[in-house]
Amino acid sequence: MGDKALDTGKVMLVTGGSRGIGAATALLAARQGYAVAVNYASHSLAADEVVRQIRAEGGQAMAVQADVADEAQVLAMFARVDARFGHLDALVNNAGVVDVSARVDQMEVARLRRMFDINVIGSFLCAREAVRRMSTRHGGRGGAIVNVSSAAARLGSPGQYVDYAAAKGAIDTFTLGLAKEVAAEGIRVNAVRPGLIETDIHASGGLPDRVRELAHQVPMQRGGSADEVAQAILWLLSDAASYTTMALLDVSGGR
């Protein structure tokens, strides 16, 4: 298969698609027939490797840089996807950050702004641009959005990152409201709430062994894999979930 998207094929944009859950989602989506735009903020080599793997398996993909917290970069990213693939059918709002463990009384405003700019405002900006392309109200043909929340939205993450948990709580509310707003316009909006998943986001927060150390708290007695979360995301985006919108799907081993 060439790298030019078929007019009949579906197109997906995965933000934060170079590593972890995003990369697993991009790879699985390509295997299910999507042409995939793999967004990254700074890990260009990792994004290029995801694209290489997709193409090696006969799929269609492109890497596209953008910091989702920057509106100008988000607009440029969507313009590049438009130019390459011509339309958009699915958005996975996966880009997100954590920070080092801290109590709320230790948090600086710069940390809080980064946390909400990327995790919340970035998801709003990308969803806004996706709706402008997908909604039948805007002449689109419909589509689906999956927001990547976290079990932290339910648990609060005290003593670690209440700011991250609060940002993901905002994503849950955003999912519910947007789902109702565009339900009659051909767009379904759902969220997954991963629990302890084996990805390097924990190392970026200074806790590389977090999943192993907390696995005993999970009823299933283990951490999850990025692919297990990707499977849930692809189901929510698929026609098999055609009557499912406004769902917050826990992928957390019972935690």
Which of the residues 34, 161, 164, 243 is marked catalytic? 164
Let me know the angle formed at the C-alpha of 200 by 192 and 36, rounded to the nearest 5 degrees.
Answer: 55
Across all residues in the chain, what is the average pLDDT?
A: 94
For the chain, which residues make up each domain, given as ranges?
10-251
CA dist 115 to 5, 81, 195, 196, 214, Å? 35, 26, 19, 19, 23
pLDDT for res 37: 98
Let me know if 164 is a catalytic residue.
yes
| Residues with Cβ within 8 Å of residue 187, at least 6 apart in sequence | 131, 134, 135, 142, 143, 144, 145
Residues 122-140 pLDDT 10s: 999 999 999 999 999 999 9
Note the pLDDT tens digit of each residue in 204-253: 566 677 788 888 889 999 999 999 999 999 999 999 999 999 999 999 99
Higher pLDDT, 5 or 232: 232
pTM: 0.93
**pLDDT (tens digit per residue) in 143-184:** 999 999 999 999 999 999 999 999 999 999 999 999 999 999
| CA 103 to chain centroid | 26
Superfamily of domain 10-251, CATH level 4: NAD(P)-binding Rossmann-like Domain (3.40.50.720)
3-state secondary structure of 139: coil
